[in-house]
């Protein structure tokens, strides 16, 4: 039985990934700062007769990653697969995002991947284990934008770091993959921030953003989970998920200038106006999915 670690596994993509690997006969370590969410994922896996244990992990802390790796080694031996999935999505332009808000995105979106990949790569190398590390980047890593600058920068860094790590670990027989999802039905925006707003405005925005993501993203987190599982089996390097992710990936490689021109013409005012006009339609879509 292999040991598979999934961070941010208390909900969304992480939960579906944990459940899928468990169905394949693996032991799952469900790591999340949200203890209740982690326990719920473990319960769901055990309900399907899988094996899973929860672990509270703040991915921003290098010390907690070190302790976590030591606990895994003591309890189960060397990890076989690490999925660095934990993350948040804050929106806001370059100038309106404060240094503290930039730091939050870098700590959660990038440094968590660095800490986790380093400590478990060392563990795999020392044990001679031909394991696999999966880092969740985003289609935003291909898409320069004034809407989610800090998030896009962090995810672009994850994409480059993952490819560099892949080169470095290949001689040890360790696979490394970057997964780049497009729009997925999760609570990523609901748990994120909209920089540049007051607290009251931010709460209203968060509710609207959650509705938009739930209605407009046609693919669920289980689709990303399947891409992750296949990537581990086939050792793929970079995997966009969803047609829009593939389209952005291809278009940016073909014409970066055209992509920059397109995103320069999309503003928060335009998006929020469109959101307000389409609220009735989005509500119908959500209600229909709930009945299905």
Query: Which positions are catalytic?
Result: 151
User: What is the distance between the alpha carbons of residues 255 and 188, in angstroms, rounded to a whole number?
Assistant: 29
What sign has the CA pseudo-torsion 260, 265, 269, 274? negative
């Amino acid at each position: 039985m292999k040991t598979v670690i999934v961070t941010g596994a208390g909900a969304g993509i992480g939960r579906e990934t944990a459940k899928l690997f468990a169905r394949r006969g693996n032991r799952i370590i469900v790591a999340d700062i949200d203890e209740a969410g982690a326990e719920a994922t473990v319960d769901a896996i055990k309900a399907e007769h899988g094996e899973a244990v929860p672990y509270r992990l703040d991915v921003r802390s290098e010390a907690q990653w070190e302790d976590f790796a030591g606990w895994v080694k003591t309890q189960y031996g060397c990890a076989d697969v690490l999925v660095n999935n934990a993350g948040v999505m804050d929106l806001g332009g370059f100038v309106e995002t404060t240094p503290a808000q930039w730091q939050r995105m870098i700590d959660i979106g990038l440094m968590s991947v660095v800490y986790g990949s380093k400590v478990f790569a060392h563990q795999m190398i020392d044990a001679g284990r031909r394991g696999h590390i999966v880092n969740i980047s985003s289609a935003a890593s291909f898409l320069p934008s004034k809407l989610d600058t800090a998030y896009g920068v962090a995810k672009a860094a994850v994409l480059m770091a993952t490819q560099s790590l892949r080169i470095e670990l290949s001689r040890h027989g360790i696979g490394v993959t970057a997964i780049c999802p497009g729009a997925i039905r999760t609570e990523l925006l609901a748990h994120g921030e909209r920089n540049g707003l007051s607290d009251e405005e931010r709460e209203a925005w968060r509710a609207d953003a959650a509705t938009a993501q739930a209605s407009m993203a046609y693919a669920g987190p289980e689709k990303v989970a399947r891409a992750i599982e296949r990537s581990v089996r086939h050792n793929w390097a970079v995997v966009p998920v969803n047609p829009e992710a593939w389209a952005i990936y291809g278009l940016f490689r073909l014409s970066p200038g055209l992509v920059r021109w397109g995103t320069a013409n999309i503003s928060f005012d335009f998006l929020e106006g469109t959101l307000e006009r389409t609220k009735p339609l989005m509500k119908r879509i959500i209600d229909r999915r709930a009945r299905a």
